Chain A
C-alpha cells in the first residue's frame, strides 16, 4: 500500500498541519519497512526449517532438514550395498555412520520444531497485526478525504457573496464539516499514539525469539559435535592435516592409475 498524501489533483490546501502529516508519514513509513522485513524474514525462516519429508531428490528444499536427509541417504545407500554383507569391517563402519546420521536427524527435527514454536509462529503473529493496521490507516485516509472535500466546500461558500441562500448553504456546510473534522482528528490522534507503541513493541517482542534461535543452534551443534566426535574416534585416525589427506588421495589415485586396466587421461 503506498501512502501518497496530497496527490488528488486539487490545489494544495494544507488543512492538516504539515508537521502532523510528516510525523504520520514517518511513523507509517517505518512501519511499512518493518512489515516488509518481517514478512521476508518470516518467509526465509520458514524456508530454512521447512522439512520436505516426502521428496528427497528434489533440490527445492533447502536448509537443515534437506541437508540432514541427504546425509542420511549417504549412509543408507551404503548399507544396502551387497559389499557390506561380505566385508565385516565395511559393515561396521557403515552401520556406525548410519546410526550417527539417524540420531542427528532426530535432533534436527527437534530443532526444527523448537524454532517453529519460538520463532516462526511469533513472527507470523506479529505480521498478522498489519492488516488491521493498514485498514485503520485506510480509514484515516478516507476521513481525511472527506474532511478536505467538505473543507473546500465551506471555503467555496465563504468566498461567495453573502446572500440569504448562500448563508444558509454556508451554515449547512459548516455543520457537515464539524463531525467529519472531529472524526479525522480522532483517528489521526489515535494512530499517532498507537503506531509508535506497536513499532516499539517489536524490540521486546523479538528478543526471546532470537535468544531461542541461538540456543537451539547451541543444543543441536553440541549434539552433532559429540556424535561425530565419537564416530571419528571409532573410525578415523585423528590428527591428519588437510595436506596429509590430499597426499593420501593422490597416492591412492596413482596406485589405481598404475594398473593397466585403468585408462590414463
Chain B
C-alpha cells in the first residue's frame, strides 16, 4: 500500500498570504495524495479478492462445497461491485479539477449497492470464523490449508485463512476513514466539500446499517428456533441466573399492571403486533377448516354405492354405478390430490412460518421488561452493568428487527393466503366441471334424458306412486299366505268329551289348544295340544284378558288365550258321527246305563261344587266335587261376582263363582260327567 508521501516542504515565507497559499497548496497535495491512496488501495484490495476467490478457493477442493460457501460467502458479488467501482474511480483520474467531487458522487452512487453486498458478507463472517477454528484443530488439514495460502499469498503469514477472510470487512470500514482524510484536506468553500461531507456520512451510515443487520440476524437466529426441549432439559436450564431473570421480569410486569411504573407504549409496534395476530388467526383457522373439509371429503370417498350388486343388468342403475365408480376413482381422487398439493401443503408451510415471529414477539416482551428496568436503574443510579447494557441492546435489536420485518411478513402472508384461496376456488370449479361432464354423459343414456327437469320430477312422482301401490299389494299377498286355520286332529278318545262340551255350551264356545300348555299356578291348567275346551270367561279375576277361564269337561282353570284357537265343530261333528257309528256296537253291548231309577228326591235348585277347589288363603274355603254348598253372597266384598261367599261343611269362605253349579235335575251324590 502506498504510504504517505515525503515530508512536505516547509514554508518559511513570512507573509500571511504566502502562508495561506502555502497551506492551501499543502492541503491540495494531501488531498491528491489521499485520493491516490484511495485508488491504489482499491486496486490492491481487488487484486487480493481475486486471489482469494479464484486461486485459493479452487485449491481448497477437499473442503465440502457447503463449507466453501460459508467461508467465501458472496465474495463474487463483492468482486463484481468493486470492479465496477474501481473502473469508475479510475476514470475520474482524467477529470483533474473535478476529480474530488466526482469521487464523492461516486460513493453516493454506490452507497446502496455496497451496503447490500457487504452486509451479507459481514453477517456470515462469524460463521466462517467458526469453520476456520474447526480446521485449525485438525493438524493435517491445517497444514494443507497453510501450504496453499503460503503459495498464493505469502504475506498472509500464520494466521492464514482468517487473515484473508477479514479483508472485505476491513475495506468497508476503511472507506469512511479514507473519505474523511480527503475531506480534511478540502477547503470548506470548495464545491466538492458538501459532496464529500455527504459521502462520508453515507459511508458511515452504511457501516452502521451493516452492523445493525448483523446484530439482527444474530438475535433472530438465537430466538426464532422453537426448541423442543424435554422437561428434564428445561429443568436443567433453570439456574439462579435464569430464575432471577424471570422473577425480575415478572415483578416488572406486575408493577406495570398495578400502574406503579409506566409501560413503554409503542403504538407502532402494538399495531403491527395486532395485525400479525389477526394474520395468525386467519391462517390457523383456515388451516383447521381445511383439515375438516379434507376429512369430510375422505369420509365421503368411503361411500361406494357402485360396489353393491343389485343384480340389475342394465338401465339407469348400471349407469349410476358406472358414474359413481368413475367419480370416485378419477374425478374426486384428482380433486383431493390437487387440494392436498396446492392448498393444504402451502397452508401448512405458512402456518409453520408463523412460529418464528410468534417466538420473537414473546421474547421481545421479555426483553422489554428487562429494558425498562435497566432504564429505571439508569435514571436512579446513572450507570448500568455490562450485562444490563447488553440486555438493553438485545431489546433494541429485537424491536427494530420486528418493526422492520413484521410489515413485510404480514403482507407476504396475506398475499399468499389470497393466492391459496383463489386456488381453492379454481379447484372447486374444475371438480364441478369434471363431475358435470361425466354425469351429463350418463344422463344422455337415460331413457328420459330429453325430458326437462320439472316434467321429469312429476313423472317420477307418478311412477313411484304406482309402484308403491304395487309393493303394497305384494305385501298384502305375502301376509295372506295363511289359509284359514286347518282343523287340528282330535286327541284319541276325545270325541265324546267334545260332544258333551258342545251340547253344554254350544258350538261358538269351543276352542282348541294350539300348543302344549303347562300351567304354573294352582288355577292354571296343563293341557296337551289338540285338546278341546269350552270358554267360560275371556278374562281372569283381575281382568287380564290374556288369561281365559275354560272348561275341559273334567276340570276348570285358566289357560293363556294365545294358545287357543276357535274350533270349527262342523267337520268333527261328521267325524264324531262316523266314529259314533263305529263304536255303536260296543256301546250296545254294555249293560244298561248306570242311571238307576231316580228316587223321588224333590227337584230343587241346589248349588253344588262342580269342581274341586283348593283354598289358598283363610278367606277361601276348599271344595270337593259334588259337595253341596250354601251360597251366602254371590259376590265378594268389592262387589266382584267372580267370587261367592259360601258355607260348606260348616266352614265359610270364598270360592270362584264359576266353580259352582246350579243343578235343577235330580241330585245324585258324587255326580260326575259321563266319561
Which residues of chain A are within 8 angstroms of B468 by Cβ–Cβ distance? 122, 125
Q: Which DSSP category, helix, strand, loop or mixed, fits chain B's interface?
A: helix
Cα-based distance from A132 to B473 in the complex (angstroms): 11
User: Is B622 at the interface (CB under 8 A from chain A)?
Assistant: no
Question: Are B292 and A57 in contact (CB-based, < 8 A)?
Answer: yes
Binds B, one of A11-19, A20-28, A256-264: A256-264
B131 at the A/B interface (Cβ < 8 Å)? Answer: no
- The reply to whether A139 and B342 form a contact with Cβ atoms under 8 Å apart is no
| B66 CB-CB contact with A under 8 Å | no
Q: Name the residue on A nearest B575 (C-beta).
A: A175
State the CA gap A225–B430 with chains docked (Å). 8
Complex: chain A residue closest to B347, CB-CB: A249
Report the Cα distance A36→B225, complex, angstroms.
Answer: 59
Q: Are B429 and A232 in contact (CB under 8 A)?
A: yes
Q: How far is the CB of A214 from chain B (nearest CB, A)?
A: 5
Q: Which residues of B contact A97 (CB under 8 A)?
A: 421, 425
State the CA gap A218–B303 with chains docked (Å): 19
Distance to closest chain A CB from B55 (angstroms): 32
What residues on A are CB-neighbors of B282 within 8 Å? 78, 81, 83
Q: Are B471 and A205 in contact (CB under 8 A)?
A: yes
- Tell me, rounded to whole Å, the shortest Cβ–Cβ distance linking B63 to chain A: 22
Q: Which of A33, A194, A249 has the most CB of B within 10 A?
A: A249
Q: Mark B343-383, 1 if CB is under 8 A from A, else 0.
A: 00110011011011101100000000000000000000000
Q: In the complex, are the beta carbons of B414 and A87 less than 8 A apart?
A: yes
What residues of A have a CB within 8 angstroms of the CB of B414 in the complex? 83, 87, 90
- Asked if B470 is at the interface of the complex by the 8 Å CB criterion, the answer is yes
Q: How far, in angstroms, from A221 to B335 measured CA to CA in the complex?
A: 14
A183 to B486, CA, bound (A): 8
Size of the A side of the interface (Cβ < 8 Å), in residues, is: 109
* A238 sits at the interface (CB 8 A): yes
Find out whether the CB atom of B483 lies under 8 angstroms from the CB atom of A187: yes
Knowing A81-B281, A129-B478 are in contact, say whether A253-B483 is a contact too (CB < 8 A).
Answer: no
The docked-state distance in angstroms from the alpha carbon of A259 to that of B482 is: 85
Assembly CA distance A224 to B433 (angstroms): 9
| Interface hit among B104-112, B164-172, B306-314, B644-652 | B306-314
Kindly list chain B residues whose C-beta atoms are within 8 Å of the C-beta of A186. Answer: 483
* Residue B330 interfacial (CB < 8 Å): no
Q: A125-B468, A206-B317, A262-B353 are in contact. Are A37 and B309 (CB under 8 A)?
A: yes
- A151 → chain B closest CB, angstroms: 13
In the bound complex, residues from chain A placing their C-beta under 8 Å from that of B248 are none
In contact, A232 and B309 (Cβ under 8 angstroms): no
Given A57-B292, A62-B300, does the pair A261, B357 have CB atoms closer than 8 Å?
A: yes
- Is A140 within 8 A of B292, CB to CB? no
The bracket for how many chain B residues form the interface is 35 or more
CA distance A227 to B390 in the complex (A): 59
> When chains A and B are docked, how far (Å) is the Cα of A197 from the Cα of B611?
57
Complexed CA–CA distance, A222 and B305 (Å): 22
Distance between Cα atoms of A209 and B456 in the complex (Å): 12
Taking CB as reference atom, which chain A residue is nearest B331? A221
* B442 at the binding interface (Cβ < 8 Å): yes
Complex Cα distance A111/B359, Å? 48
A208 to B459 alpha-carbon distance, docked (Å): 9
Minimum CB–CB distance from B124 to chain A (whole Å) comes to 13
Closest CB-CB distance, B241 to chain A, in whole Å? 25
- B22 interface residue per 8 A CB criterion: no
Bound CA–CA A126/B434 (angstroms): 33
Tell me which residues across on chain A come within 8 A of B345, comparing CB atoms. Answer: 249
Given known contacts A179-B486, A183-B486, is B401 in contact with A208 (CB within 8 Å)? no
Contact A194 B478, beta carbon cutoff 8 Å: yes
Interface check B190, CB cutoff 8 A: no
B457 to chain A, nearest CB (A): 8
* Least CB distance, A103 to chain B, in whole angstroms: 13
Whether the pair A249, B346 counts as a contact (CB closer than 8 A) is: yes
Is B435 an interface residue, CB under 8 A from the partner?
A: yes
Name the distance in Å between A172's Cβ and chain B's nearest Cβ.
7
Within 8 Å by CB of A208, from B275, B460, B481, lies B460
Question: Do the beta carbons of B296 and A211 come within 8 Å of each other?
Answer: no
On chain B, the residues within 8 Å of A219 by CB distance are 453
Q: Which one of B404-412, B596-604, B630-638 contacts A?
A: B404-412
Q: How far, in Å, is A135 (CB) from chain B's closest CB?
A: 7
Q: Does B38 contact A (CB under 8 A)?
A: no
Q: Which of A63, A70, A228, A249 contacts B428 (CB 8 A)?
A: A228
Asked whether A236 lies within 8 Å of B425 as measured between CB atoms, the reply is yes
Interchain CA distance A34-B317 in the complex, whole Å: 14
Per CB-CB distance, the 5 closest pairs between chain A and chain B, nearest first, are A228-B429, A176-B489, A263-B356, A225-B432, A210-B316
Other than the known A62-B303, A202-B312, A208-B316, what 12 A-B pairs have Cβ atoms closer than 8 Å? A67-B293, A67-B300, A74-B290, A129-B478, A207-B447, A209-B464, A231-B429, A249-B416, A252-B412, A257-B353, A260-B220, A263-B226
